[in-house]
Structure 1
Amino acid sequence: MRILAVFIAIFGIVHAICWSGDFVVAPNGSDSNPGSAAAPFLTIQKAAQVMKPGDTCHIRAGTYRETVIPARSGQPGAPIVFRAYPNEEPVISGADPIGGWASHKDKIYKAPMPWTRNTAERKAGMDQVFVDGEMVPEARWPNIQVSPAAISRQDLARAEAGAILKPGAKGGDLAASRYTTKALKDFAPDFWKGGFIFFVPGALWCGVTGDVTGSTSDSVSFTYPWLSPGDFYETREKDFFFLWGKLEALDSPGEWFRDANGVLHLWPPKGNDPRGHLVEAKKRDLCFDLRGRSHIVLDGLKLFAGGIETDEQSTHILLDGIEARYVGHALWYSGWWSLATDTCIKLRGADSEIRNSFVAGAAGHGIDLQGARGKAVNNIVLDAGYVTNGNNINVRAEDARVEQNTLRGTGNQTCLELSHSPRAKALYNDISHSGRLILDEAAVWVARDTDGQNAEIAYNLIHDTHAHDDGKQYYGNGGIYLEGRVRNFVVHHNVMWRIAGQAICLPAVEGEQSGLQIYNNSTDAPFNVLKPQGIVLKNNVFASFQFDKVPGGDLSSNATWKKRQGSVPFVKDPGFMDAEAFDFRLRPGSPLIDQGTPIPPYTDGFAGAAPDIGAYEAGRPPFVAGAVLATRHLASLRLEYQGHPTASTVFTLAGLPPERKLPADFKLKIGAHEPGGTVGFEKGKWQVRGVPFKGEPGPQTVSAQIGDGKPVALKRVEGDAGAAANGASARPRPAARLRDPALRAKWEQRLRARVREEIAAGRPPRFKLVSFGETARILALDPQGAMKLRLDQGGHLDHRWPTLRTADLAELAASLATDADPASCALAAFFVLLDGQAARGEQYLSKAGPGQEAVAGAFEQEGEAAQP
């Protein structure tokens, strides 16, 4: 019966993708095939060349090292769709593997890398290297212990003194400067000559790259593009910098250097042989080039080491459920308003959207939203601007909508920019950790001369800005910053904490500001307006105000709670739930309850006689900001609970995608009862209580849904009490725990012998290398375990048998199994069961003949006590 169910499920998937408008791409395909499920294409580009409006390309698991350029656009109602094959995770990569490793010296290895992304104009810092899918740093000083995508000022050296040796006559001219620091004492004279410097000068507003012209045991001299005269940009004491560009600087695990002869030198992160790891280097900027194309959908795809390019003609682009890591890279940076690279997830055409997606690692922007009516909804965007200028989400588009996103970490001052974006809405976002490298401005920033036309910034959590504000030469990093001559914005119901500067700042240094409405915000930071004229501020609670009059405006129904300011009401205890934990909800009896002023529509639905002061209305559930679970994620959830489900059951949820919360309209459903329940987050776990149920307890299916969406049945976590009552099989079967751990080595010896037999017979095994996301053939395997692999997507990989994971061994053994060879099925059964794939392992076990007893006897049975 179980086999029949599996057959029906597989047949349903295959049948669903076998009509004339569907194509399949797989690592074992060929571009001379018709692109069917039975005979798939090898490359996505082949499908992109033949697809017509309404067609869908289903992409099977594997790594596709290519830039996909569709030959044509879709049409309204008939888009061209590139979609992950059901329950599989294909990767489109801008990187190629590095092989041919040999020892260089000590723990440093070397291998040919015949390509570079450096150019005459950008002569260094453009290459990018990865080990096992993680970016590793080009050899530098000081060494860093964090990802290069997450560096902050604390990871850089700091000058004890700085001097301008030769200023430029105008911006862009070559200037010369020198930094002095005793931290350079261990370097020989001119050690760094010919290398490069990245530095953040003056008021720490921007980063710059320069050429090192000389160094001593306590100084480094360099040339660079002149920014501008004045203290803001001068090289001086307390500036931050790092040095790179010398092979001799390769002195710690995880660092690399590519020399002028095209040789990559690497000290692997764990100090071991790189042949046991997947080492890759960026070769292509883009995973998808959609310029000039419209009505294109990318669904469920993973992108690595590359971005998505579009232009103004790229309208109606939809990116749903993509995972994009390391979308754009550069270290060479001319400074100030420029970007080190504009390669990112770029949506420049109208009516385009990215939703339910994950983007991480960008030297510039993470997402660039420039098309009218563009949307970024329910995304996670991490670690942008790691060369200072670059936002997690950059918006320059009318009627844009940025909603329910988690934006965390940028070297830039700003996570979210809304400049020149009339009628934009930034709602329900969780925004944090801006200003890692440079100061000033704020986590949310709007450039001067922007007419918002009632643009809205509301229901956001803004916190943990990385900056210092000494009131003299450094200006901190605020929460929300509306530059001079910015007008017609509504800022309401935002919560801000741990802000290294002003929670909201309206500087108006140049010209007047008008049409600014600031309502119902809560924070433990101050509020500053340099020219408070014509501004409406109501129902806010700030740590302090730096003014108490607004000529031509309104400053009623506000409160401060840390510092008095003139006539603004001061409350020593505002009655927050827990101010020290930044929980600004109001306790019963808070002096802020019912003390606000009604402001339709922004305070509609208040609970008492009048709105409360602050962002949270007492007696109402708090809003949920940041990325949340989407319907596409429900199938991954697991439930933990005791006994049979009833209205009193407390359900604990597991399996949430990282960084995502439960949405406010999340519900559970027991059997055929009404969906419902109260969601809470307790002790690091999401729980649901009070799910509707009437009647006698018994085995019930528990489903989850979002809003009025379709319920999805959830699995119960294995091993929880009552699992048998919910229909789990009680038949003892092999588990993933061996009776004797030494048995694994014996079975591995058998598998290695079988692999060598296949190679000697001219049948090199081809299997899915799960740990690398690649399909590969084993061309050679020596007695010491060194392997030579050929990757299906091109290139060779030096690997070692001891580094194969259990999942890799399971796939390798399964690839050798045939029904006519019971011994091969026994090998497959052993390793598949060891990997915890019980149902699949039983299938091989049933064909293992005399080997069944040996395999089954190797594992503890369910309910059997573990051997001491």
Structure 2
Amino acid sequence: MMLGFRRARRRRGLLLAGGLVTAGVLLTATAASAAAAPPPGHHHGGTTYYVGQHPGKASNGRTVHSAFTSVQDCADVAQPGDTCVIQDGTYDETVTPAHSGTAAAPITFTAAPGAHPVISGADPVTGFTPVGPTELAQVVAADPFAANTPFSQAVADGKVYSAGVDLGSAAAEVQIFTDGAMDIEASYPFPGTDLLNPAVERADAGTADATIVDSTLTRPAGYWDGARVLTSYWYVTATGTVASSAVGSVTLTTAPPCVHKVVPTDTWFRLSGKIGELSHPGSYFYDATAKRLYLYSDDDPNGHRIEAKKRDLGFDLTTASNVHVNGIGLFASTIRTGDSSTGVQLDGIDGKYLSHYWDVTQGATDCGANVTRGVATSGIVLKGTGNSIRDSHLQYSAGNGVSLGGYGNTAEGNTITDVDYAGTYAAAVAVQGHSQTVTHNTMARLGRSGINLQWNGVTGTTAGADRIAYNDISGHASLSVDTAAIYSCCSAHMEGTRIDHNVLHDPTPRPGGVYPFGISGIYADNGMSDLQIDNNLGWGNHEGTVELNGLGTGSHDNLVYNNTGGMTLFYVKEAGQSTGTKIYNNIGPITGLAGATDGGLVLSNNLIDGDPLYVDPAAHDYRLQAGSPARNAAIPLPGVNDGSTDATPSLGAFQYGAVPWTAGAGS
């Protein structure tokens, strides 16, 4: 039993298979019999319909043997209380319910017992042919720089294939898959297929803020003209266009925005949009003018499942309420609710490649879209109120895993990994609106943060506190620094939002550059106020478990209690900058301590120096030994540091003698 927020949690037993499920799987007699039983989430009084992929069968949906052949067929007829039971298969569609359910009689979409259906946003691409001398000559005629490149050598080696397909005009938004794994656009440097740990090239120098000088740029003058460039420095990722290029340099049409200039050894970059770079397994190039897709492949791609993303949404619930989705897979698609949605429950979702984009448009004078693209619109988007996602596994997204808008929504018990590979302010869970709950989740391998905690009022509602608790977050800051596992900004009054009992550890910032500046467990950046941060544990964070930055409106009325792992204080020392802030009962060094109380904050009963005598810190067991100086040393704070077997509470995140709390999915 953990302390605090722990409650009995339903476990639904929906263990989903990894990878893509092949379409057209026929039910065995045993599976058909099982599917006839009342499915999970079935509500008595409604009609049960069946969905399957059985070519040539009648399809009125009333039995397994006359199942609808698409999920949308069922969504068109389902009324409150009805259930759509979905058999194995990959369904290339967007499901938009024609009706909403009610609180007492929701409409349910559920996997058949033992089945793992997938709603896919991708369509197959077929008809690939080897690129030979004739087609190569056509490519070179359109782009003379394609001659004598790695691409032309790959053609000579028989490694390049092409197929005609219309994927739109925005080449940077194209997403291609081979056998369920995402391919990477041809680029320099080629980042590899792990976008949370990409190969990068750092600028040797920069001139006039808009020129990247780098000795590895050996292509001839003009080669990179018109190419797209992605640059990253400090906390800003941006994309732009190359105006001109020479051996050893490229000059952008517009200098990178915000604080993001071309800084020698700090700015890293990637160039794309040139077919000459197509020379790596797992890579592609899309010619939007010729509407032709080129793949680098060691064998005939027609023997593989090649797909292109065509639809953003697997379920469009923007006008729906009281819809339950249980045990369904998503591939190259996501689920979105609307401002008026309520009672939507997502449970046991297995989602892969939820959102994709590369263009992060440069703002003219400030960070603008460079930091905000996708924060409110990518991943599983829950707007409205009273909606939830639970016990789900979400992996791969250019943006978020989950975005909580509106108010009173919940993300609980989920495992979310490999998100924000575009490197913006997206997160495993982006929290906006108010009164949101994010608890018992595991988040790992993150471009920036695990939780991006913002604050937006919702018209016609009374603002309330968020609850961020019992989450295990690691691998943050892969593509951006000056961030945290749980990050909040800027100059907002957080209505008593509580951040507690989280384990925040092992960030993975890119070597070089401004590494590892500003990386912490919890970061209240640029004047955040009225937060309660208690009982959190962190290790491996450069600035400690907690970081307060009072720059802007000041860091007021923040209660920082019983955390383990140290902290950093910025801009809290001038008169009035930190009035009402209390820092009690914490364990670990405090950077910026000198003069901190001049701003109005109060420090008391913190163990800053000396050995706390943890049980086994090498194994990250931060319970207290019997001889620890943190025992019997805390200011008693009811509801915060209860549970010690001593007469007086302990310092830090674990009370002596109490059953230790745990965090993460399944805790």
From 271, 280, 290, the counterpart of 1:261: 290
* Structure 2 match to 1:366: 401
Counterparts of 1:525 and 1:383, CA distance in 2:
27
Show CA shifts across 1:25-70 (max 9, x none): 1111579621122200111111111110111001100000001111
2:466 is aligned with 1:444:
no
SS of residue matched to 1:376 = strand
* Structure 2 match to 1:828: none
1:554-573 to structure 2, matched below 5 A, reads: 554-560=602-608, 570-571=609-610, 573=611
Show CA shifts across 1:542-593 (max 9, x none): 2334225535543211011xxxxxxxxx32x210123334332222211212
* Structure 2 match to 1:680: none
From 162, 178, 182, the counterpart of 2:211: 178
From 522, 539, 550, the counterpart of 2:585: 539
Counterparts of 1:274 and 1:100, CA distance in 2:
9
The Cα shift of 1:622 comes to: 1.9
The Cα shift of 1:502 comes to: 4.3
Amino acid at match of 1:374: N
2:153 is aligned with 1:115:
no
Show CA shifts across 1:728-781 (max 9, x none): xxxxxxxxxxxxxxxxxxxxxxxxxxxxxxxxxxxxxxxxxxxxxxxxxxxxxx
Amino acid at match of 2:49: F
2:660 is aligned with 1:622:
yes
Structure with greater Cα Rg = 1
The Cα shift of 1:158 comes to: 0.2
From 21, 36, 41, the counterpart of 2:47: 21
Counterparts of 1:469 and 1:9, CA distance in 2:
51
Counterparts of 1:473 and 1:360, CA distance in 2:
26
Is contact 1:151-1:411 (8 Å) kept? no
1:152-163 to structure 2, matched below 5 A, reads: 152=198, 155-163=199-207
* Structure 2 match to 1:590: 628
Counterparts of 2:50 and 2:515, CA distance in 1:
59
* Structure 2 match to 1:240: 268
From 243, 268, 271, the counterpart of 1:213: 243
Counterparts of 1:184 and 1:207, CA distance in 2:
21
Is contact 1:115-1:283 (8 Å) kept? no
* Structure 2 match to 1:463: 505
Is contact 2:551-2:570 (8 Å) kept? no
Counterparts of 2:482 and 2:337, CA distance in 1:
31
The Cα shift of 1:294 comes to: 0.5
Counterparts of 2:310 and 2:89, CA distance in 1:
18
Is contact 2:125-2:165 (8 Å) kept? no
CA distance 1:12–1:473, shift in 2 (3 Å): closer
1:642-661 to structure 2, matched below 5 A, reads: none
* Structure 1 match to 2:311: 284
Which stretch of structure 1 is more off in the superposition, 74-83 or 459-468?
459-468
2:216 is aligned with 1:144:
no
Counterparts of 1:473 and 1:100, CA distance in 2:
46
1:55-454 to structure 2, matched below 5 A, reads: 55-104=82-131, 105=155, 106-118=157-169, 123-148=170-195, 150-152=196-198, 155-164=199-208, 177-185=210-218, 187-201=219-233, 204-224=234-254, 227-228=257-258, 232-238=259-265, 239-259=267-287, 260-268=289-297, 271-335=298-362, 336-338=367-369, 339-341=372-374, 342-389=377-424, 390-413=426-449, 415-420=451-456, 422-454=464-496
Is contact 2:255-2:261 (8 Å) kept? no
CA distance 1:433–1:585, shift in 2 (3 Å): same
Show CA shifts across 1:355-385 (max 9, x none): 0001111112220001211000000111222
Which stretch of structure 1 is more off in the superposition, 6-15 or 589-598?
6-15
Which stretch of structure 1 is more off in the superposition, 410-419 or 253-262?
410-419
Counterparts of 1:31 and 1:449, CA distance in 2:
61
Measured on the aligned residues, the alpha-carbon RMSD in Å equals 2.5
SS of residue matched to 1:75 = coil
The Cα shift of 1:134 comes to: 1.0
CA distance 1:471–1:303, shift in 2 (3 Å): closer
The Cα shift of 1:468 comes to: 7.9
Counterparts of 1:486 and 1:24, CA distance in 2:
51
CA distance 1:593–1:258, shift in 2 (3 Å): same
SS of residue matched to 1:522 = coil
Show CA shifts across 1:295-327 (max 9, x none): 011100000001112210121111000011111
Counterparts of 2:588 and 2:512, CA distance in 1:
20
Is contact 1:427-1:459 (8 Å) kept? yes
1:514-525 to structure 2, matched below 5 A, reads: 514-523=556-565
The Cα shift of 1:20 comes to: 6.2
SS of residue matched to 1:38 = helix
- List gaps (5 residues or longer) in structure 2: 1-27, 132-154, 457-462
2:540 is aligned with 1:498:
yes
Show CA shifts across 1:104-150 (max 9, x none): 222433242422144xxxx33100011111111111111233323x2
Q: Percent of aligned pairs with the same residue?
A: 30
CA distance 1:183–1:472, shift in 2 (3 Å): closer
Aligned pairs, how many?
588
The Cα shift of 1:76 comes to: 1.4
Counterparts of 1:479 and 1:354, CA distance in 2:
24
CA distance 1:233–1:111, shift in 2 (3 Å): closer
- List gaps (5 residues or longer) in structure 1: 1-5, 166-176, 561-569, 629-662, 664-868
Is contact 2:46-2:80 (8 Å) kept? no
Show CA shifts across 1:157-200 (max 9, x none): 100101226xxxxxxxxxxx111111123x23322222211001
Counterparts of 2:34 and 2:217, CA distance in 1:
66
* Structure 2 match to 1:603: 641
1:845-856 to structure 2, matched below 5 A, reads: none
Counterparts of 1:574 and 1:334, CA distance in 2:
48
Structure with higher helix content: 1
Is contact 2:641-2:655 (8 Å) kept? no
CA distance 1:452–1:415, shift in 2 (3 Å): closer
* Structure 2 match to 1:657: none
CA distance 1:527–1:608, shift in 2 (3 Å): farther
* Structure 2 match to 1:35: 61
CA distance 1:9–1:589, shift in 2 (3 Å): same
Counterparts of 1:214 and 1:472, CA distance in 2:
28
SS of residue matched to 1:125 = helix
* Structure 2 match to 1:860: none
* Structure 2 match to 1:575: 613
Counterparts of 1:95 and 1:9, CA distance in 2:
27
The Cα shift of 1:215 comes to: 2.4
SS of residue matched to 1:371 = coil
CA distance 1:350–1:113, shift in 2 (3 Å): farther
2:549 is aligned with 1:507:
yes
Counterparts of 2:615 and 2:66, CA distance in 1:
62
Amino acid at match of 2:293: L
Is contact 2:537-2:545 (8 Å) kept? no
User: Normalization by structure 1: what TM-score?
Assistant: 0.65
Is contact 1:468-1:477 (8 Å) kept? no
CA distance 1:310–1:138, shift in 2 (3 Å): same
